[in-house]
Structure 1
Amino acid sequence: MSAQAGQPSATTDRQVLVVGGGLAGLATAAFLHRNGLSPVVVTAGEAAVGDVVLWSPAVSLLAELDLGTDLLASTEPVRRWHLHRGETTERLSSAHDGRWPFVATDRGRLRELLRTRLPTGGLRLSKTPRRLDPTDSGLRVEFDDGVSERFDVVVGADGVDSWVRRSRLDDGVRERGVMRWTLRADEELGTPGTVTELWGPDGTLTYGPLGSNRARLVTQAVGGSDLGPDSDPEAVVERLARSVDTADRPLDCGSLTELTVVGGRADRTVDSDRWAAGYTALVGSAARSLPSGLSVGPSLAVEDAYVLAAELTGEASTTAAMRRYAHRRRGRGRALDRLASTDALSGSDEGSEAVRADRARRAALLRSFFARRVPAVSADVEEHL
């Protein structure tokens, strides 16, 4: 229990390599360092930019890193979440008692804060591992500069296409039949504290909550569709205009007709339930079986980091700690998956099966969080809810 409380344990000489410098990787390293270890983070470059929405308990976990005032000052409470579907608008809102179900913050600012909680020399930029070999008591990692180092644990925080997972666990990735697009407008979209989603037969457009000029669009990507990976960006905007007609809807922004496609990619998800193997563990989207479009992905990554750090700084052997971590996080993910599968979206909905499934899950989880019906929380983070 001392490790969970943030006190250094007897296992302070464990050498941990974290592959990936995004939220999951930096949070893992920061919690490990808080618990007495000196992890190394390697990353090929900067992660994605833009805002990130966090479930408020994840902010409480991050606040345990003594980020305190700086972290809270950089967040915006998400008070409202609007789901526009045809003639129907579902408006989820939070009671005004200061306990917001979600907060939003700038992803780059959050990375900067987490980096201040790493050990000196603990972040190695433009450093890429290329080979990973098991030893009797750990792993030997060879990097692209020819240098080899031995580690007791290697953590894969390198996203859905994780090199660590492919090296030591399995590929386990599949395309979900949807495309994810990033759009830019000439004006700010939305108002602070509000997330707006427009659901049309061909896509889901989401913008907010920081009042930025960026939006996210999810469309189907099936054979013969003009919204596949090789689509003309202009065709995407034209289809969007037909799909989510905003003329008759009271929205939180002006016209959505002047949108520019910044980029698009086929959405992929981990189709595996393996969180750890031997001296290797996965955190965040490298391990997550839930679709990446769900709003709780970043928050679950923070939980992963917190739990893994607690296990690795406990008294158990390394392999036992990894098994305990995998068991706890696998159960957490299954509980959320059951909630999203049983609380289906009411009413009919057009679009591909993958898009419909995304919407049903998003609605189920959002309703639960705004109603404060938090599903199956692990005991190690329950006090923060």
Structure 2
Amino acid sequence: MKVRNKSGGALAIVAMASVVALSVSGCTRDGAGQGNGSGASPGITDTSITLGITTPLSGPTAGPGTCTVAGVAAYFGAVNAAGGVKFGDGKTRSVNIKSYDDAYDPQKSLSNFQQMVSDNIFAVTAGLGTPTNRAFRDAAISQKVPQVLVMTGDPLFSDRKQSPWQLGFVPIYQNEGAAFGKLLAGSKDQHKVAILSQNDDYGKGYVSGFKEAIKGNSSISIVGEQTYEATDTSVDAQLTQLASSGADVFFNAMSITPLVIAALQKGQQIGWKPSWFLPSNTSSPTAILQPGGATAYPGIYSVSFAKAPQSPVFAKDPDVVKFLSELKQYGNYPDMPAFPHCMWSYMVGATLEQAFKNMTGPTRDNFMESLRDIKGLKAPLMLEGTSVDTTVDGQPAVSTVVVQKYNGQGYATAENFG
């Protein structure tokens, strides 16, 4: 895999010296374009295939964004070292990754997509963010460029009619919210819930899933609800307002790492210590919960579908041992992963490899057909009871999650609330 270090940081990536604006409407390539004169789509030859990732490699979400590249790079770095992927057409190809920094800025992600088209990327994958992925969704559809296994729980990306060239990877936000709602609804006690959510489709998805799951349950009441903008630098005012509600459960649908840490700290400062629910992408024990002092709360709950390398339970797990070794060697990520996105993107690599093995022709159309025909794939690092299934319209590649409770070091499965 062709990579070189862009910034001297933990991850070696293919550096883009500049982002060149390319008029999407002026480009004539399509899903079965004559990218190399052989009937193949752009970005694939008899010996290689090139994938692009636009994701935040700088800014407040750079931690998880970096992981979205590191995991894929680790997976295919090891695969390439072993000889590459044997595709369904009989040819063996190496998988090359190019990454582009969008700093969680939708305008930059659109520019990055335009640059990827110019760079003859075969498909876009793994990138983090709902607004950033939405920014170039229409262009990807127009250009018939696959935008797949991306790190957004936006259900639009898994609707085949509306998004024929898209597919999400992580569970849709509604599924995560509903999983916690069902756990809370199973409690025999009365609960007052306060909600703070990001004022976009990300936050709205979590909240709608949660509310649907507790509908009709008289023991649960929502006593306060606030929103924040992804560009905000503080949520202190919202926390103070919600604390006055007397809620004993805090449903916190936030995607910005520094704000989650600050919210955990603010709750303690004002003496409000409810049980918390956090989304899977902002529930890292080492990067968020520990610096936020999460052990001060009676319970921090989240959901997962991946084995956590930090957990003593998985310390000697063969999947985890192999993953950590490859992450260090090929993903140039020497530390213990602080964010689950490292594991998720590693699973993305395994899912892509399965799709490649099923491809009978070197076109984007054939790739999409192959990708949407994966069922029951137990990708490395997946928790018991979860698997990859891309055959269900309206659902991403992974739709099942396990609710977990923070125990001060990592997470353990939560059978009950409390």
Q: TM-score, normalised by structure 1?
A: 0.32
Which protein is richer in strand relative to its size? 1
Normalized per residue, the structure richer in helix is: 2
Normalising by structure 2, we get a TM-score of 0.30
